[in-house]
C-alpha cells in the first residue's frame, strides 16, 4: 500500500469496527494523515473524544457537513484493508510521519545553516536540538498512562532488581564505591543531577576525581570529565597520584625513589586504557557543554556512565539573560542529564567567607542562588574539612592524615540525607571512606620524606 491507501485503510478499518479505536487511538494523531484524509480523521477524532466512541450515522452526517465534496460512502468500501491489518497500518503511518518530520527537520536545519549571523556553537546546539526533537519524541498517547499500567511497570522493575540482587548483579544506580556514601546516597541515578559543593581548596575536585577513578576501576562504565579550570595532563596526573599512592610533591618535582617510580608505572598501566573522555577547554557555555556531552555519549553508543563538570561558575553564562543565569544553567544541565539518561556530577564553589562563620559546616543556604540550585538538583553533597577552616588563616601545616572530614549529603530526592565520615590524605589527593579507615586502617603511601630519603 502507498500512503494514501494506508490512510484510507485506517479509516476503512475503524468504520467497519468502531470498537477498534479504543486500541489504536492513543497511537495516532492528526499528523499521521495528509490532505483530505487529515480532515476525515479530524471528524473521527472529534466524535471519539466527545462520546468515547464512533457512530457511523453521526460520522456520515458530520463528514457530509464538513466535507461536502467527499463521497462518504466510498469510505466504507473494504477494498483497501481489513480490521486485522489495523495494527500494521498504524505502524506504517507512524513510520511515514517520522520520515516527514525528519525531512521537515532537515529543511529547518538548512535554513539555520544559511543564517550567517548565528554563532557556531549556538548553531551546533540548535541543529542538535532540532534533530533530537524529531527523532526522540515518543507517541503522544504514551504521555497518558493508567495507574494500572504504571503499577505493572513498577512491579516489573522491582522484580528485575530482586533478580539482579539474587544473581549478584549491579543495579541501575552507579556506585561511588565509597561504602558508607553509597549506603546514604544509593549511588548515582540515570538522569539525575548531583551537585558537589565545597569551599575553595576544600577538595571537591579531588573528590570528584576519586569517584571517577573508583568507577573506572570497578566497572566498564565510561566517564566523561569536563574540566573548565584544570588542563588534561593535570587531571590525569591527579588520577595517577591517587592510584599509585605517591606523594604529589615528589611526583610534581620528579624526585622519586625506585619504589615510587615502580608504583607510578604500575598505576599508569592500570588506568591509561580505561574508558574515559576529557575536555579541558575553559569558558565553555551551556550549548557547547550539551553538544560535547551528546557527542561523548554517542561515542560510547549512548552508554556513558557519568558526566562530571568542574565547575558551575566557570561556565560562560554571557549568552543567557542576566536574570537568574545560574538557575537557567543548572536547569539546562539537569535537562541534559534527563535527555541522555546519564547522571551528571556538577561541582560548585561556595562563598569564600564561609570560614568566618562560627560553624563553617556547609549547608544548603550557602549555595550561591541557593534556591535556584537546590530546587533543580536531585542530590546535593558538600565537602567539609574542619581542619581546612581551622588553619585557613594560620601558618600551621595541615595534618598528613585528617580523620574528621565529612561528605554532607544535604539533599537526596530518593533517599536519606546525613553526614558521611571520611579521611583525607592531602599528600596523595585521596579521600578514604570512614568505614574503610575503621576496618582497614590508614592508606600506606609512598613519600621520600616519609621514608627518610634525601
CATH of residue 94's domain is 1.10.860.10
Do 182 and 433 contact (CB within 8 A), yes or no? no
Set of cell numbers at residue 97: 510521519
Cis peptide before 322 (omega within 30 of 0): no
Is there a domain that residue 316 lies in? yes
pLDDT the model gives residue 182: 93
Is there a domain that residue 150 lies in? no
Is there a domain that residue 160 lies in? no
Domain boundary residue, one of 137, 161, 192? 137
DSSP per-residue letters across 133-158: HHHHPPPGGGG---HHHHHHHHHHHH
Give the CA count within 13 Å in the CB-facing half-sphere of 309.
31
Local structure of 247: helix, strand or coil: coil
pLDDT the model gives residue 60: 79
**Which phi and psi angles does 226 have, rounded to 5°?**
-105, 110
Domain co-membership, 126 together with 65: yes
Domain co-membership, 279 together with 403: yes
pLDDT the model gives residue 141: 42
Residues β-bridged to residue 344 = 193, 307
- Total structural domains in the chain? 2
Local structure of 264: helix, strand or coil: helix
Domain co-membership, 303 together with 447: yes
Residue 233 DSSP symbol: H
Local structure of 31: helix, strand or coil: helix
What CATH number has the domain bearing residue 356? 3.40.50.300
Domain co-membership, 100 together with 205: no
Is there a domain that residue 88 lies in? yes
The position carrying cell 507512524 is 94
pTM flag (> 0.75): no
Pairwise CA distance, residues 74 & 391, whole Å? 88
Set of cell numbers at residue 450: 616519609
pLDDT the model gives residue 139: 43
Domain co-membership, 322 together with 444: yes
Reference 236, options 268, 207, 211, 263; nearest CA is: 268
DSSP per-residue letters across 310-353: E-GGGSB-TTS-STTHHHHHHHHHHHHHHHHT--EEEEEEPPGG
Range of the domain at 255: 171-451
pLDDT the model gives residue 72: 61
Is there a domain that residue 155 lies in? no
Domain co-membership, 295 together with 416: yes
> Cβ neighbours of residue 263 under 8 Å, at least 6 residues apart?
244, 245, 246, 446
Is there a domain that residue 166 lies in? no
Domain co-membership, 227 together with 282: yes
Reference 348, options 322, 315, 316; nearest CA is: 315
Domain boundary residue, one of 85, 118, 137? 137
Locate all alpha helices (DSSP H) within 245-285, ordered by sequence. Answer: 248-253, 258-271
| Long-range pairs, 95-103, Cβ under 8 A, ≥24 | 96/3, 96/6, 96/32, 97/31, 97/32, 98/134, 98/135, 100/31, 101/31, 101/134, 102/131, 102/134, 102/135
The position carrying cell 561528605 is 407
Give the CA count within 13 Å in the CB-facing half-sphere of 367.
27
Give the CA count within 13 Å in the CB-facing half-sphere of 52.
0
Is there a domain that residue 105 lies in? yes
Angle at 118 between CA 115 and CA 124, to 5 degrees: 100
pLDDT the model gives residue 386: 87
Domain co-membership, 381 together with 447: yes
Domain co-membership, 361 together with 418: yes
Is there a domain that residue 358 lies in? yes
Domain co-membership, 192 together with 83: no
Instruction: Report how far Cα 377 is from the mean position of its chain's Cα atoms.
Output: 12
pLDDT tens for each residue of the chain, 454 residues long: 577 778 888 888 888 788 888 777 777 878 888 887 888 888 888 777 777 778 877 887 777 776 666 666 666 655 555 666 787 888 888 888 888 888 888 888 888 888 877 877 778 877 877 776 666 554 444 445 566 666 776 777 777 767 777 777 655 679 999 999 999 998 999 999 999 999 888 899 999 999 999 999 999 999 999 999 988 889 999 999 999 999 898 888 888 889 889 999 998 888 888 889 999 988 888 888 988 898 899 889 889 999 999 989 899 887 555 446 888 889 999 999 998 999 999 999 887 666 667 777 888 888 865 567 888 899 999 999 988 878 776 778 888 999 999 999 999 998 899 999 999 999 999 999 998 999 999 988 888 765 444 3
Amino acid at each position: 500500500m502507498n500512503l494514501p491507501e494506508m490512510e484510507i485503510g485506517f479509516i476503512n478499518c475503524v468504520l467497519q469496527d468502531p470498537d477498534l479505536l479504543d486500541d489504536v487511538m492513543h497511537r495516532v494523531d492528526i499528523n499521521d494523515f495528509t490532505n483530505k484524509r487529515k480532515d476525515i480523521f479530524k471528524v473521527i477524532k472529534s466524535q471519539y473524544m466527545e462520546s468515547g466512541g464512533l457512530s457511523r450515522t453521526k460520522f456520515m452526517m458530520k463528514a457530509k457537513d464538513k466535507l461536502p465534496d467527499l463521497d462518504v460512502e466510498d469510505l466504507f468500501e473494504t477494498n483497501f484493508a481489513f480490521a486485522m491489518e489495523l495494527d500494521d497500518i498504524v505502524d506504517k503511518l507512524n513510520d511515514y510521519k517520522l520520515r516527514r518530520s525528519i525531512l521537515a527537520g532537515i529543511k529547518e536545519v538548512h535554513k539555520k545553516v544559511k543564517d550567517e549571523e548565528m554563532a557556531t556553537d549556538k548553531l551546533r546546539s540548535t541543529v542538535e536540538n532540532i534533530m533530537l526533537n524529531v527523532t526522540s519524541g515518543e507517541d503522544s498517547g504514551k504521555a497518558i498512562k493508567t495507574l494500572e499500567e504504571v503499577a505493572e511497570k513498577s512491579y516489573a522493575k522491582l522484580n528485575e532488581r530482586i533478580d539482579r540482587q539474587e544473581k549478584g548483579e549491579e543495579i541501575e544506580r552507579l556506585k561511588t564505591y565509597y561504602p558508607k556514601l553509597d549506603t546514604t546516597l544509593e549511588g548515582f541515578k540515570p538522569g539525575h543531577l548531583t551537585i558537589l559543593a565545597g569551599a575553595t581548596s576544600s577538595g571537591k575536585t579531588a573528590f570528584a576525581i576519586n569517584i571517577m577513578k573508583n568507577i573506572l576501576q570497578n566497572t566498564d562504565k565510561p566517564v566523561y570529565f569536563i574540566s573548565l579550570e584544570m588542563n588534561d595532563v593535570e587531571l590525569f596526573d591527579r588520577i595517577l597520584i591517587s592510584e599509585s599512592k605517591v606523594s604529589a610533591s615528589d611526583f610534581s618535582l620528579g624526585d622519586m625513589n625506585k619504589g615510587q617510580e615502580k608504583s607510578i608505572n604500575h598505576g599508569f598501566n592500570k588506568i591509561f586504557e580505561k574508558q574515559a573522555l576529557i575536555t579541558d577547554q575553559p569558558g565553555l557555555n551551556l550549548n557547547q557543554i550539551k553538544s560535547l556531552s551528546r557527542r561523548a555519549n554517542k561515542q560510547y553508543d549512548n552508554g556513558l556512565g557519568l558526566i562530571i563538570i568542574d565547575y558551575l561558575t566557570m561556565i560562560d553564562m554571557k549568552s543567557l539573560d542576566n536574570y537568574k543565569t545560574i538557575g537557567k544553567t543548572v536547569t539546562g544541565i539537569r535537562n541534559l542529564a534527563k535527555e541522555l539518561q546519564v547522571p551528571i556530577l556538577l561541582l560548585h564553589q561556595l562563598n569564600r567567607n564561609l570560614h568566618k562563620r562560627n560553624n563553617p559546616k556547609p549547608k544548603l543556604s550557602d549555595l550561591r542562588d541557593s534556591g535556584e540550585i537546590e530546587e533543580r538538583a536531585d542530590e546535593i553533597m558538600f565537602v567539609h574539612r574542619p581542619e581546612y577552616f581551622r588553619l585557613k588563616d594560620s601558618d600551621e601545616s595541615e595534618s598528613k592524615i585528617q580523620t574528621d572530614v565529612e561528605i554532607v549529603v544535604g539533599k537526596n530526592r530518593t533517599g536519606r540525607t546525613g553526614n558521611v565520615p571520611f579521611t583525607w590524605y592531602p599528600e596523595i589527593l585521596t579521600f578514604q571512606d570512614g568505614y574503610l579507615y575503621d576496618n582497614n586502617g590508614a592508606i600506606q603511601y609512598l613519600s621520600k620524606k616519609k621514608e627518610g630519603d634525601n
